Chains A and B, each alone.
Chain A
Amino acid sequence: MSADKNKQLQAKADKQAGRKLMYEGHAWAGIGLGLLMFIVCFSGVVALFTDEVGLWEDKRLRRAYSGPEFSLDKTVKAADAMFEGDANFVVAVPPNEFYPLARIFLRDVDTGHSQNFNFDPETNEMLHTSDDGVGHFLAHMHTDLHLPKPWGRYLVGFMGVVLMFSIITGVIIHKKILKELFSFRVGRSLRLMITDSHKAMSVWGLIFHAMIGFTGALIGLSGILLLIAAGAAYKGDTAAAQAAILGTPPQHVGEATPMTNLDELQAKATQMQPGTVMETAIIQNFGDKNAYIEFNLDIPNVTRAALAPRGSVSFHAVTGEFLSSKDWHASGIGMRIYYSIVPLHYATYGGVALKVLYALLGISTSMLSISGILLWMERRTGRKGNEAMNSYRWLSALSVGVCGGMVLATASAFLAQHMAVAAGYSVTETIVGNTYFTVWVLSIIFAFGLGNAYKSTKLLLQASAAVSILVPVANGVLTSDHLFKTLLAGEWAVALVDLTMLSAGALLIYSASKIPLERPEMIRHRKVAAQPAE
């Protein structure tokens, strides 16, 4: 009997020790990489709206969506004539409800040089290249952290793995997940509020956090993953592995030859898969005697409402000869997953409402890192001793500077965009980038200099709110496209950016109003000390 009891006690102790180790793993991942996680997640929220910001940042690109029709042939050939270099890879995207312009992307595969061209779909006139500006800058921040390629992308992908690790350990260490869904104790201590917020945000957004970590890891690490797959299944032959997934690419002949009429090929492709429209067109070996064009097709009206395109049709782009037709929905599960990863990560499959939902959930993913760090710090400050207080001070200053500073830097980058255009700069990315990093670094220095995490958070949030509200005002004054005008003209993308900045400003003012100027315990201690001794 006693032996049984001892066994039970031992099993219970082992279980608790295992849970403690898991908790420590969760805390280690959060404290060690929490700030980087915030940077990746917060920049990801902004990157969701890259298309909309692209239209917002340049007045010349603004117009209402008038349908997907445009001339593929004229726009591709016009873009090629303007391309600085020898383009041999082309991607064409027709106008859609998120971006009402035709986009032609050209790349010189040999030098790596690429350019994006925007065309008016009605006149086929080139409006602007969109390789610079705040939208491009902030999207690059999310995908590569502005680090050298491919290391930035690998680091972002690794953060996806860390997010999955944190989610799995978090689920295991929290025994009462269902109870935590509805547990939010208002008006109690700060530590309880942070604990409840952390758990509620984790549990309510669990599926989203897991999906975003998983797809992010795949997108970021796809280069390495393909290398491993090629190493194992194709004896290191990456090209063979790529061919197994995407088909064998056409051989480059090296003889310059004009392309056939691409509009006719587009019409043929949609006839071959009736009831479909072009989603993208990809031309390999463009300008070469052996050029191929592949049309990715989808059903109209649900374009971008399906995760993977319906199918594709390929032609020889010089002779017009039919090469192949594929129905992705009828092929293997692997291809459907492959085509679903990017739309799933960037919310390009369900309209503006879905993007807004993604943004809200993405903010909650970002807030998980901050609440996790705060929780860890609050627990440590409960312990006595100088070491705990010192680590509290520097970690809180760093967290406030990095996270609060990033919000302020992002809002400032939007403002800098319009200021740079108003000042007559044609290429704005350098100014936007300099503003962004200067504001961010100054915010970190400010947080360390002030030495009071509460006060610096409050001030940084107030500054971010002021700049966020200034952004739509500057847009209205400098481009004369104020919010009411864009709403009435049906320029939803531009209106959405202005509305988002105004809402963010209001939210930041509210959040700042709820933060005390110093640690509540300090205020309480001072009050107690100030009371006259009886």
Chain B
Amino acid sequence: MTAGKAISALIGGLLVAIFGGAFLNIYLPYDLAADRLIIGAILMPVIWSIAGIMFCTVKSTLKAWGYAGLIILITGSANAYAIMGGAGA
């Protein structure tokens, strides 16, 4: 494993966790906003770990960034849609 891959796992994992966690903060199917916020927030460290592992297991770092980018793009678009008044809390 190279240092580049380790740093990618750290930063890429964090980015996926931020966008994925924010997505859950908005779209989790709970009635109470507090439930969505808390459960979305507590899942962020878990997403960070799992996304970090994804970076470690995918052979090509570039390919791993591709997967991470795709997740960030999808969740980021959904989050932006909600922030602009489309859905969510």
Q: Footprint of B on A, CB under 8 Å?
A: 17-18, 21-22, 24-25, 27-28, 32, 157, 160-161, 164-165, 168-169, 172, 214, 217-218, 221-222, 225-226, 228-229, 231-235, 241, 244-245, 331-335, 337-338, 341
Contact = CB atoms under 8 A, between A and B. Distances in A.
User: Which of B23, B45, B57, B89 is the most central at the interface, judged by chain A CB atoms within 10 Å of its CB?
Assistant: B45
Contacts of A234: 89
B36 A25 contact: no
Given A169-B56, A232-B25, A218 B49 contact: no
B71 interface: no
Interface string B22-44: 11011000111111111111101
Interface of B: 1, 6, 9, 18, 21-23, 25-26, 30-42, 44-46, 48-50, 52-53, 56-57, 59, 79, 82-83, 88-89
Contacts of A332: 30-32, 34-35
Given A17-B59, A228-B18, A233-B25, A218 B34 contact: no
A337 B42 contact: yes
Contacts of B33: 233, 244
A244 B41 CA distance: 13
Given A332-B34, A334-B30, A225 B21 contact: yes
Contacts of B45: 157, 160-161, 164, 214, 217-218, 221
Given A218-B45, A235-B83, 9 more contacts: A164-B49, A165-B52, A214-B46, A221-B45, A244-B33, A245-B37, A245-B38, A334-B39, A338-B34
Given A233-B36, A235-B83, A338-B38, A22 B22 contact: no
Given A169-B56, A217-B45, A21 B1 contact: yes
The secondary-structure label for the interface of chain B is helix
Contacts of A17: 59
Nearest to A27: B1
Contacts of A341: 42
Contacts of A157: 45
Nearest to B55: A25
Contacts of B41: 218, 222, 225-226, 228-229
B37 A244 contact: yes
Contacts of A32: 6
Contacts, number: 125
Given A231-B22, A232-B23, A22 B50 contact: no
A221 B1 CA distance: 27
A479 to B, nearest CB: 43
A228 B38 contact: no
B15 to A, nearest CB: 11
A217 B43 CA distance: 10
A25 B61 CA distance: 13
Contacts of B25: 228-229, 232-233
Given A169-B53, A244-B37, A232 B1 contact: no
User: Which of B22, B34, B40 is the most central at the interface, judged by chain A CB atoms within 10 Å of its CB?
Assistant: B34
Q: Which 9 A-B pairs have CB atoms at the shortest separation, nearest pair first? A: A232-B22, A334-B35, A25-B56, A334-B38, A24-B1, A217-B45, A225-B41, A332-B35, A332-B32
Contacts of B6: 25, 28, 32
Nearest to B31: A332
A169 B57 CA distance: 10
A229 B40 contact: yes
Contacts of B9: 25
B34 A22 contact: no
Contacts of B30: 332-334
A228 B82 contact: no
A306 to B, nearest CB: 18
Given A165-B49, A168-B53, A235-B83, A218 B42 contact: yes
A32 B5 CA distance: 14
Given A25-B9, A164-B45, A232-B82, A244 B22 contact: no
16 contacts: A24-B56, A25-B9, A28-B1, A161-B49, A161-B52, A164-B46, A165-B53, A221-B44, A225-B42, A232-B40, A241-B37, A245-B34, A331-B32, A335-B35, A335-B38, A341-B42
B10 to A, nearest CB: 9
A225 B39 CA distance: 11
Contacts of A337: 38-39, 42
User: Which of B21, B22, B38, B82 is the most central at the interface, judged by chain A CB atoms within 10 Å of its CB?
Assistant: B38
Contacts of A165: 48-49, 52-53
A228 B34 contact: no
A338 B22 CA distance: 18
Nearest to B9: A25
A27 B57 CA distance: 14
A249 to B, nearest CB: 15
Nearest to A235: B83
